[in-house]
Amino acid sequence: MFEKVAFIGLGLIGSSLARVIHVNHLAKNVVASTRSQKTLDDAVALRLISKGFSNPVDAVKDADLVILALPVQATEKVLAQIKPYLGERTIITDVGSTKGNVVAAAERVFGTLPSGFVPGHPIAGAEHTGVHAGKVDLFAHHKVILTPLPTSSDWAVQKLIALWQAAQAEVICMDVKKHDEVLAHTSHLPHLMAFNLVEQLANREDNLDIFRYAAGGFRDFSRIAASDPRMWHDIFFGNKDAILNAVDGFETQLAKIRQLIENEDSQALMGLLGHAQAARQHFNYMLAKKPVMEKNKVTQKFTILPQQHRFEGTFTVPGDKSVSHRSIMFGALAEGTTHVTGFLEGEDALATLQAFKDMGVEIEGPHNGEVTIHGVGMHGLKAPTKELYMGNSGTSMRLLSGILAAQKFDSVMTGDASLSKRPMERIAKPLRAMNAQIQTTGEKGTPPVSITGNQPLQGIDYELPMASAQVKSGVLLAGLWAAGTTSVVEPEPTRDHTERMLRAFGYDVKTEGNKISLVGGGKLVGTNIQVPSDISSSAFFMVGAAICENSDVTLEAVGINPTRTGVIEILKQMGADIQVLNERIAGGEPIADIRIRGTRTLKGIHIPEDQVPLAIDEFPALFVAASCAEGQTVLTGAAELRVKESDRIQVMADGLQAMGIDCTPTADGIVIEGKGKAGDWSPIFKGAEIESHHDHRIAMSFSIAGLRASEAITICGTETVATSFPTFTQLANEAGLTIQTVN
Ligand code: S3P
């Protein structure tokens, strides 16, 4: 990998990296310069270096990699010394704990920084120092942060990444300022506190007693105070601003807890300690295991062939996803047996089913949509032995957050790449207000979600900040175990399957205007649930029929719960030929057959905002309809689309533009210039390769666009179609579309 590597400084970090280079034969020649001749002699004896030099200048001549592994404050002096001897393609890196001051020192020395200069920081170490303390596996499974600068060239960065990967480290690239802020809190502040605590105790008269009798707490907390004072002296000055900021934060927090103890505010103190405990447990989990991010790597593509002339037939699309999830959850929590028919055997609902199996619930099926759940009652769930994997399913994670927050055991939920980016604080926040201990991850509050059990929940009155049935449901479900009444006020009506199905399981749920409430402490009684066909899956066929000349499609036994029928209303307003037939009730939900025919060109409309929550999952398909309509379609008030399985506004706009549609995404919607002309059924879309961003509804919407495309459309990442509509390609091909699947 390298011809000649020169270490300047050969303490714990330097000598550990020298060991990695030696053991893996990564350089033909390794030399070092340190102030201590003994260190150099020892390093030669250990065969870590071929030669030692007291002057860094002698070490760096002809080196293609120079590693500064010395106290940060010596950086400027050493760089000034070695500057004239560095080659044009010499890579220069360092291992210091602070980065801003290293870069500033380099700028003072070089003016314009050399392109081989890439600062770095391995987050590994020990309180021991010196060449003998080094270990070849010091960096294994630790993080190494590289902070490439605008001047750093890619070849230098790539080579350093390869070097650290050879040390089995996980390499992360970050900007300098961010690095210093993060490290101030995660490393520098804890060291400062450890030094300071030991100093506080050492200054007491009874210090000998304290040290003699000090138990694990002191030992754990003070271990890092045995670190090298010189090094930490340099770090505290080197990252002064960020550290002072962190110290200010610490003082404020210290004052808070001090006050709680002084006031004997038991509830608030328990809240603070419990919250911190949950955060620490979550951190344990994060340390032990990385989130399951990539269970479903992109494997599948659809190619939709052009020249479709037909879209017709009578179809029964699979069961409703929202209803299927809830049937498992409530069936599991009920007393007695629940029998479900029409269950959606898609990956999302199966993730919910698996989660309850993981919590000890006996579930038979699914076989042809039939599931039998042997309910364990409100207090019968068992602690899962591993994290609960929710796949792509936001509904599973948000509703289960409410259920798990009330259990006696701890739990962790993870998801796939798409779910791991979705906001979970929206449910964690109200649950915390109910006294739950729940922790999300990262600045954006995404999965994994960790929950500490055994917290007595309190009912709340919660005003939903967004129209979300998932958050509403998560809060109501926690309310089943909470003391007193839990109520949720929604800004606009959202799907009410939770309320309806809880009632079907014998639980009293009140809906008064936009307020839904229930009283905790009751029980659910097993029942039979008939899951209607999913109107969201039907929507692709409705739009397909609406944009295809002479089409005639009937979708049987579709759920037409009034909180879900926005797509019918919007298509009607656009002029679609659509009929709702044989309305009836099945399993507590209204259902009907829907017939839709391609008899007239759609027209663009301003979609009424009150329809948005009622059609929230159908917009990707409706955007395809709008592209084929005559005139402009404007959608507003739909910012929620940006936090679905993908950012559905942006991803649809990108795809439609690639297919030749003039459209403009906005913060909360989109403007689409429809290309349709009355009576003209010629192609609207040109061929393109579309990225679905692992979003099932994006993949299916662009497939349907194939009905009006002049050339083939390829859609990448279509494997998530199986989350909600596993028979999509089969039914769409039966209707007349030609979808070729490549795995
Ligand atoms: C769902 C609610 C909606 C919807 C999702 C299913 C549910 O999400 O988009 O596909 O089953 O409660 P939000 O509640 O986040 O809008």
Give the pLDDT confidence of 419-441 residue by residue, as tens digits.
Answer: 999 999 999 999 999 999 999 98
pLDDT of residue 289: 47
pLDDT of residue 284: 67
| 52 — pLDDT class (breaks 50, 70, 90) | very high
> For 236, what's the count of Cα atoms within 13 Å in the CB-facing half-sphere?
14
> For 545, what's the count of Cα atoms within 13 Å in the CB-facing half-sphere?
27
* Placement of tokens 């039966």 in the chain: 734
Distances (CA, A) of 175 to 145, 146, 149, 180, 630: 9, 8, 8, 9, 48
* Placement of tokens 């996980």 in the chain: 170
644 CA to middle of ligand 1, Å?
9
| Per-residue pLDDT tens over the stretch 454-475 | 999 999 999 999 999 999 999 9
Cβ neighbours of residue 442 closer than 8 Å, sequence gap 6 or more: none
CA angle 396–401–405, rounded 5-degree value = 150
**370-376 and 630-635 strand pairing:** unpaired
Judge residue 35's burial from the number of C-beta atoms within 10 Å of its C-beta, 0-12 exposed, 13-18 middle, 19 or more buried. exposed
| Range of lowest pLDDT (212-221, 366-375, 618-627, 722-731) | 212-221
Closest protein CA for atom 9 of ligand 1? 617
321 CA to middle of ligand 1, Å?
10
320 lines ligand 1 (CB under 6 A): no
| 294 — pLDDT class (breaks 50, 70, 90) | very low
Distances (CA, A) of 10 to 5, 29, 166, 224, 473: 12, 16, 19, 21, 59
For 629, the token pair is 């309509």
* Placement of tokens 């506004």 in the chain: 649
Q: Which residues of 420-444 are buried (b: 16+ CB within 10 A; e: fewer)?
A: bbbbbebbbbbbbebbbbbbbbeee
| 234 — pLDDT class (breaks 50, 70, 90) | confident
477 lines ligand 1 (CB under 6 A): no
Indicate the helix (H) or strand (E) that contains 497. helix 497-504
298 CA to middle of ligand 1, Å?
24
- Contact assessment for residue 718 and residue 732, using Cβ atoms and an 8 Å cutoff: no
| Per-residue pLDDT tens over the stretch 82-97 | 999 999 999 999 999 8
pLDDT of residue 374: 95
- CA 155 to chain centroid, in Å, comes to 31
701 lines ligand 1 (CB under 6 A): no
Closest atom of ligand 1 to 616 CA is 9
- Catalytically active residues are 617
pLDDT value at 540 more than 80: yes
Closest protein CA for atom 16 of ligand 1? 468
| Per-residue pLDDT tens over the stretch 203-225 | 877 777 777 766 678 888 888 89
| Range of lowest pLDDT (205-219, 223-237, 311-325, 554-568) | 205-219
pLDDT of residue 306: 87
703 lines ligand 1 (CB under 6 A): no
pLDDT value at 7 more than 90: yes
pLDDT of residue 310: 86
Closest atom of ligand 1 to 468 CA is 14
Q: Which string of DSSP letters, residue by residue, matches 318-347?
A: PBPHHHHHHHHHHHHHSEEEEEEES---SH
pLDDT value at 77 more than 50: yes
For 485, the token pair is 């009444």
Average pLDDT, the chain: 93
- Contact assessment for residue 8 and residue 32, using Cβ atoms and an 8 Å cutoff: yes
- Contact assessment for residue 459 and residue 474, using Cβ atoms and an 8 Å cutoff: no
395 lines ligand 1 (CB under 6 A): yes
| Range of lowest pLDDT (46-50, 112-116, 293-297) | 293-297
pLDDT of residue 417: 84
Domains parsed from the chain with CATH numbers: 2-174 (3.40.50.720), 180-264 (1.10.3660.10), 301-316+533-742 (3.65.10.10), 321-530 (3.65.10.10)
User: Which is more confidently placed, 268 or 551?
Assistant: 551
100 CA to middle of ligand 1, Å?
44
For 388, the token pair is 């609960």
CA distance 9 to 33: 6
Question: In testing the pocket of ligand 1, which one of 495, 534, 622, 725 has its CB within 8 Å of the most ligand atoms?
Answer: 495
pLDDT of residue 285: 63
305 CA to middle of ligand 1, Å?
32
* Cis bond before residue 590 (omega within 30° of 0): no
Closest atom of ligand 1 to 472 CA is 14
Q: Residue 486, Cβ neighbours under 10 Å: how many?
A: 27
- Contact assessment for residue 556 and residue 607, using Cβ atoms and an 8 Å cutoff: no
Which has the closest alpha carbon to 437: 429, 448, 446, 447? Answer: 429
pLDDT of residue 127: 66
| 141 — pLDDT class (breaks 50, 70, 90) | confident
